[in-house]
Amino acid sequence: MRRWMPGMFAVLLGADEVMKQYVEDYMEPGEERRIAGGKLLLRRIHNPGFALGTLEDQPKIVRNVSVAAAVPVFAWWLSLIWRKGHWIEKTGSTLAAAGAAGNLLDRLLRGKVVDYIGFRTRSSFFSKLTANLADLYLAAGSLLMAVRKIL
């Protein structure tokens, strides 16, 4: 079981990076394409800040806080993957580590995070939100670990 965690991490990170590069290469900034019956949207949005553009005018703070937050996530993940058992925590931490890595790579290499997943909903607030696979990995990993703590 231990051997598949680094592979899962690499596949997840690679999928996010491939999507980000596709969006960067084949879409204009702000462009939006409807997919999956129009409920799912592919967008090209750049976010130099945290969630919802928080601190977008403070790139050094965003970068430094991102690095400081990612280091313990990676250290915790590395300590978990070599233990026997604990597959729920391992899966959740692998998802979280891949998500943290995906967004951290963007901040370090591009100076901003490339977001590309949107949804059409009746709520104008939720329809404006745009995420990426890394964000979804972080959310899913956190949820999985929270559920495990409850069980």
pLDDT tens digit string along 38-71?
889 999 999 999 887 788 889 899 999 999 999 9
Determine what percent of the chain is predicted with pLDDT higher than 70: 99
Q: Parallel, antiparallel, or unpaired for β 113-119 and 40-47?
A: antiparallel
Q: Where in the sequence is the domain holding 66, given as residue range(s)?
A: 4-150
pLDDT tens digit string along 13-32?
999 999 999 999 999 998 99
Distance CA 34, CA 42 (A): 6
pLDDT tens digit string along 82-107?
888 888 889 999 999 999 999 999 99
What's the pTM value of the predicted model, to 2 decimals? 0.91
How far, in Å, are 6, 35, 99, 106, 123 from residue 11 at the CA level? 9, 23, 11, 17, 33
pLDDT computed for residue 59 by the predictor: 86
Q: Is 77 exposed, middle or buried (0-12, 13-18, 19+ CB in 10 A)?
A: buried
Q: How far is CA 34 from the centre of its chain?
A: 21
pLDDT computed for residue 136 by the predictor: 97
Residue 33 clears pLDDT 90, i.e. is over it: yes
- The pLDDT-based confidence of 2 (bands split at 50, 70, 90) is low
Instruction: Judge contact between 11 and 19, C-beta under 8 A.
Output: no
The count of domains in the chain is 1
CA neighbor of 133 nearest in space, from 12, 1, 11: 12
